[in-house]
């Protein structure tokens, strides 16, 4: 999935796959970590310039077309 990032804005990318706002993190990992004894954290990105990145994860499961 390609996403457009704006210069200077902080983004959090999901690493656990339980976020309802994939590919972005909604902090659902906190409850998931507590229930499953895991230590997922979001991947934080603050680009220096506007850019497009490609992100993917084998943990993400799409429930509908994004």
In the DSSP assignment, the letter for residue 42 is P
Instruction: Identify the pLDDT of residue 43.
Output: 95
Q: Is the pLDDT at 5 greater than 70, yes or no? A: yes
Q: 61 near 14, Cβ under 8 Å?
A: no
Ordered by start, the domain boundaries in the chain are 2-49
Classify domain 2-49 at the CATH class level. alpha beta
Characterise 20 by phi-psi region: left (phi > 0), alpha (psi -120 to 50), beta (else): alpha
Higher-confidence residue of 58 and 24: namely 24
pTM value? 0.81
User: pLDDT by residue (tens digit) across 47-57?
Assistant: 999 999 999 88
């Amino acid at each position: 999935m390609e996403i457009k990032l704006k210069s200077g804005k902080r983004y959090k990318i999901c690493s656990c796959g339980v976020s309802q706002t994939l590919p972005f993190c909604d902090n659902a990992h906190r409850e998931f970590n507590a229930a499953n004894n895991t230590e997922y954290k979001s991947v934080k990105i603050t680009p220096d310039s506007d850019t497009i990145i490609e992100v993917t994860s084998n943990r993400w499961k799409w429930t509908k077309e994004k």
